[in-house]
Amino acid sequence: MVNEQEFTIAAETAWCPGCGNFPLRKALSEALQEMDLKPSQVAIFSGIGQAAKVPHYIKTNGFNGLHGRSLPPAIGARVGNHKLKVIVESGDGCTYGEGGNHILHNIRRNPDLVHLVHDNQIYGLTKGQASPTSEESIKTGIQVEGTTSEPFKPVQFAVGMEASFVARSFVGRQDHLKEMIQRAMKHRGYALIDILQPCVSFNKINTYQWYDKRVYRLSEDYDPTNLDEAFKKSREWGDNIPIGVIYKNEKKTFRDRLLLEDDQPLVEKEFESGDADKIMEKFK
């Protein structure tokens, strides 16, 4: 029997009361706990922002890195110790803005990890500027008459790239979110979940109520392995927002392509310098 409090920490957070990060954290720690994992078997990699503080407020190993760079160190971790359960977690700004190039290439790389994006469609920690996923009509101190760009569409983008696992969930649907996280954890390959969550301090458009009215669960007979259907589904946004596993495609992972010979984590391998002396022959 696992301890009920296995993944939670009694720490004061830097999050606002009512922040969508709270229910997200709850769903994550419950998901991990139900999967019979121990905190030392999990490592969370994050960037910078309010969402990126998760490693401080949950009991796992943590790498709270640089803005936009939540994914790259997770790749290093996949190389060093593939027995660790790797979760990448950051906000929409950090992930889709500052770190945009990394998501693109890690869909190609297909590392076995779970990528949780706290998508509140606004910049929280810098006090309310438009994020890549903000609606065009949003008015902020910077975007005085709305944004100058169209919103980035993460789910459509990821399906378009034929990412290995693409899901959307909403923090207002706890069980659904927990289920998505668990399915992503069990999936072999790169698993993205774009998680809708309100920013109670700065986003006055996309509130709990706004999402609550619009999200709907994919029907039982929806087939996430059908790319054409998935692409169609990924384009739904506005009055009706589908949540669930939009697309799934089991394929070769990053580690499958490495030239490593066995399953022993690199960190546990022994090495003697003298093993390298035979290379000198090449320079004779």
Partner 1 sequence: MDFNLLVGGQAGQGLKTVNSILGKVLFREGFNIFSSSDFMSRIRGGHNFMQLRISDQKLYGPDNEIDLLIALDKKTAKIHKEQLKEDGIVLIDGKSEIIDSRAILIPASVIANDINPKGINTVFVGAALKMMGLDLENAEEILPDFFVDEILEDNIKLLRRGYKAVEKIYDNLKKNVTGKESEIFIDGNSALGYGALSGGLSFYSAYPMSPSTGIMNFLAQQQKDYDLVVEQAEDELAAVNMAMGGSYTGIRSMTGTSGGGLALMNEAIGMAGISEIPLVVADVQRPGPATGLPTRTEQGDLLFAVNTAQGEFPLMVIAPRDHKDLFYSSFRALNIADEYQIPVILLSDQFNADSSKNIPEFDFESLEIKRNLIKKADYGKKEYKRYEFTDDGISPRAYPGQLEDGLVLIDSDEHDEKGHIVEDGEMRKRMVDKRACKLEKLIEKDLNEPEYFGEEDIEYLLITWGSSYGPTREAFQLLQADGIKVGLLSFNDVWPLPKNKLKNLAERVELVTVEMNSTAQFKSLIASETLLDVEHDILKYSGRPFTGKEIYNRFLDEVIDNG
Binding site residues, partner 1, CB under 8 A: 11, 14, 38-41, 43, 45, 48, 53, 55-56, 59-66, 68-69, 71-77, 79-81, 83-84, 101-102, 104-105, 258-261, 266-267, 269, 271, 273-277, 279-280, 283-284
Q: How far is the CB of 280 from partner 1 (least distance, A)?
A: 5
Q: How far is the CB of 125 from partner 1 (least distance, A)?
A: 12
- Nearest to partner 1 of 148, 282 (CB atom): 282
Nearest Cα to Cα of residue 209 among 18, 2, 15? 18
- Nearest to partner 1 of 38, 204 (CB atom): 38
Q: How far is the CB of 45 from partner 1 (least distance, A)?
A: 7
Nearest Cα to Cα of residue 90 among 58, 123, 54? 54
Q: How far is the CB of 279 from partner 1 (least distance, A)?
A: 6
Q: Which amino acid is at 147?
A: T
Helix (H, G, I), strand (E, B) or coil at 119: strand
Residue 112 near residue 253 (C-beta atoms within 8 A): yes
β-bridge pairing 165-170 and 241-248: antiparallel
- Nearest to partner 1 of 61, 129 (CB atom): 61
- Nearest to partner 1 of 4, 239 (CB atom): 4
| Burial per residue of 156-167, b for 16 or more beta-carbon CB atoms within 10 angstroms, e otherwise | bbbbbbbbbbbb
